[in-house]
Structure 1
C-alpha cells in the first residue's frame, strides 16, 4: 500500500542518529587496545539497552529499537574496520600513534600531556587527541627535545617535546 493511504499518526519517524567522530574516507581506523575494548563495551551496552526496551506503546518501542539498530550499524562498521596498534611495538623514542607526549606550549610555565589516539577515543578533557588532529599531525615523528610548530592563521604555536611514553 502506498504511504499516502496510511494515517499520519501511524507513520513512523526515521530516527536521527548522531554521527560518530569523523573518519575521512580511506583513512585507517587506528585504535588502541583500550579504545577497541571501549567500542566493544559500547556495542554490548547498546545490545542490552535494545533487549530491555519496555515501552507500553508499540510505536515508541519500534522507534527506540530502530534508533539503537542504526547506532549499532555505525558502531559495527567502526569495529569491523578497526586496526589495533600495539603500543609496545611503537618506536619508544619517537612520537607515533598511541604515544603520550609531554610538551611545553610556547613559553608556558607548566607542561601539558596528550595521548594520540583513534577518532572514537579522542577526548580533550582527558588529554586524548585524535591522530588526525592538527596537533597530533605536527607531533608525529618528533623526538624528545624537538620543537613542533603548528601554524594557526598568522600565529605559530610551538610545542617542545619533553617526554614520550607508551603506556595505557
Structure 2
C-alpha cells in the first residue's frame, strides 16, 4: 500500500465532510459574528471576547485547511465491494491469542481510528502485522510489552 495515500471508507469520508461543513457553515460564521461585535466595543487589547474569538477563528481555519487536504487526498474504498482471502484495507478481522482471548478489528483509514469501536488504522502496528495474511495464519504482533502470537479466525468485508 502507498503510505502517502489517505485510504478511507465511505462512512469515514462522510464524517470528514460533515465536520468540514459544520465548521465552515455553522461554527465559523458564529465566531465571526462574535469577533465583529467584540471589535465594535472599542479597545481590543483587553477584550477577552475579541481575543478568544480571533484565536478560535485561527483554530477553525487550521482545522478546515487540514480537513480540506485530507478530503482531497482521500481514496475512498468501500469494504462491501471488496472480496479477498487476505486481510486488506477495510477488512474486519477476528484474531485469537495464545490465551484464547478473541479480538475483532476493522482496518480503516487514519481519520477513522476509533478504538472504542474496534477500528484501527491501516498504518497501526497491529494492522500492518495482519495485512496480507490469510485465514488460520499465525501472526506475530509486536507490542510494547513484548511480541504476541495470534491466529486469524475470520476475515469479513462489511
TM range (shorter): 0.7 to 0.9
Aligned to 1:57: 38
- Summarize deviations over 1:13-60 as a string: whole Å, max 9, x none: xxxxxxxxxxxx962110011111111011012111102224242333
What is the correspondence of 1:113-128 to structure 2 with a 5 Å cutoff?
113-128=104-119
Aligned-pair distance for 1:154?
8.2
Q: Which moved more, 1:143-152 or 1:124-133?
A: 143-152
Distance 1:117 1:74 in 2: 19
Distance 1:90 1:50 in 2: 38
Q: 2:157 aligns with which of 155, 161, 166?
A: 166
Aligned to 2:60: 68
Distance 2:13 2:136 in 1: 31
Residues 158 and 69 of structure 1: is their aligned pair in 2 closer, same or farther, counting only changes over 3 Å? Answer: same
SS in 1 for 2:112: coil
Q: Which moved more, 1:61-70 or 1:26-35?
A: 61-70
Aligned to 2:46: none
Aligned length: 142
Using the size of structure 1 for normalisation, the TM-score is 0.76
Using the size of structure 2 for normalisation, the TM-score is 0.81
Residues 153 and 34 of structure 1: is their aligned pair in 2 closer, same or farther, counting only changes over 3 Å? Answer: closer
Distance 1:106 1:27 in 2: 34
SS in 2 for 1:63: helix
Aligned to 1:14: none
Aligned to 1:105: 97
Q: Which runs of 5+ in 2 are unaligned?
A: 40-49
Q: Which runs of 5+ in 1 are unaligned?
A: 1-24
Residues 42 and 153 of structure 1: is their aligned pair in 2 closer, same or farther, counting only changes over 3 Å? Answer: closer
Distance 1:153 1:33 in 2: 32
Q: Which has the higher helix share?
A: 2
